Amino acid sequence: MARRHIAALSKSLVLRSLSGVLAPVLGLVFCISGLSKILHAYEFLDSVYQYELLGPQAGLVVAMILPWLELLIGTCILLNVALRGAFLLCIALSTVFSAAQFVAIQRDLAISCGCFTGFAAQDLVGFGTLLRSASLIAGSLLCLWAIGKTGQSPLP
């Protein structure tokens, strides 16, 4: 009985520690990504259009809202506010972005991913950027699961 309790406690501690490292990283990634898009709005708008998934008006709306949403999500995570919602939105945004990248790969589009517009040389959409998106989904799922399992925030 004691061994089971110790094993459960150590699993909980590992889960909490891992999510405690992942959560601020995810928060920073979303803040930096959102800020880069806000500071380089026209470049980001061009990136949205290059995916060729949305018309001019819908693309403009996405380019106006998405950076602020990313900044809000990242800030919520870093400030330990509304974490379940923030991680759910991380999962949703990253899933939609992964789908857009997958379509771009299938269509052989040689375009920038648009992730950190203006901050660094942009990676072309490919399996590397798709893997990066998948890791955001996995990290967000782990943090969300940790909150559900431990009933506590992953952040101190």
pLDDT level of residue 37 (50, 70, 90 thresholds):
very high
pLDDT value for 120: 59
Report yes or no on 100 lying in a domain: yes
Q: Average pLDDT for residues 147-155, to the nearest whole number? A: 70
pLDDT level of residue 4 (50, 70, 90 thresholds):
low
Report yes or no on 65 lying in a domain: yes
- Asked whether the predicted pLDDT for residue 58 surpasses 90, the reply is yes
pLDDT value for 152: 64
- Amino acid occupying residue 125: V
Q: Give how many domains the chain has, as a whole number.
A: 1
pLDDT value for 131: 93
Report yes or no on 115 lying in a domain: yes
pLDDT level of residue 44 (50, 70, 90 thresholds):
very high
Per the model's pLDDT, the better-predicted residue between 124 and 76 turns out to be: 76
pLDDT level of residue 147 (50, 70, 90 thresholds):
confident
> How far apart, in whole angstroms, are the C-alpha atoms of residue 76 and residue 130?
25
- Looking up tokens 């991380």 gives 90
Report yes or no on 156 lying in a domain: no
> How far apart, in whole angstroms, are the C-alpha atoms of residue 12 and residue 6?
10
Report yes or no on 62 lying in a domain: yes
Closest CA to 146 of 33, 1, 13: 13
Report yes or no on 84 lying in a domain: yes
Mean pLDDT of the chain: 87
Tell me which long-range contacts 85-93 makes (C-beta under 8 A, separation of at least 24): 87/26, 87/140, 87/141, 87/143, 87/144, 87/147, 88/140, 88/144, 90/26, 90/30, 90/136, 90/137, 90/139, 90/140, 91/137, 91/140, 91/141, 91/144, 93/66, 93/69
Share of the chain above pLDDT 90, in %: 65
Report yes or no on 8 lying in a domain: no
Reported as a single tens digit per residue, the pLDDT across 125-142 is: 889 899 999 999 999 999
CB atoms within 10 A of CB 26: 26
Domain that holds residue 33: 21-150
Report yes or no on 25 lying in a domain: yes
pLDDT level of residue 109 (50, 70, 90 thresholds):
very high
